[in-house]
Amino acid sequence: MNVGVCRIQIRLPENGTLKGKRQVVQSLASHLRSRFNISVAEVEDNEHHQLLTLGVSCVSNDSRHANQVLSQVVAYVERTRRDVELLDYSLEIIRGA
């Protein structure tokens, strides 16, 4: 079993409220879950209305597949969401027995 973990830092330059941020989080997380069959959660920056950090994970029997899925998630966010700015991301594959 292999678990892929990705931390994605995003800036919401045009957002002015926590309510607006919550709408972006819910929309983005819903799209990512349905498109890639992954788990998504807001993991940091809960009180900042223009910063968003998402934790994304997937489980696979192949570490290359987990890496590919998470790379596609990052590319999808960068390519399709014009209302957000991707600041940084990190990927980690945890290999198990």
Profile the chain (97 residues) by mean pLDDT over runs of 10 residues. 93 87 90 93 86 93 91 92 88 85
Specify the pLDDT at position 96.
Answer: 74
Q: Is 73 helix (H, G, I), strand (E, B) or coil?
A: helix
Task: Give the number of other Cβ atoms within 10 Å of residue 10's Cβ.
Answer: 24
Long-range CB contact pairs, 30-39, < 8 A, 24+? 32/56, 32/73, 32/76, 32/77, 35/76, 36/69, 36/72, 36/73, 36/76, 38/69, 38/70, 38/73
CATH number of 2-95: 3.30.70.1120
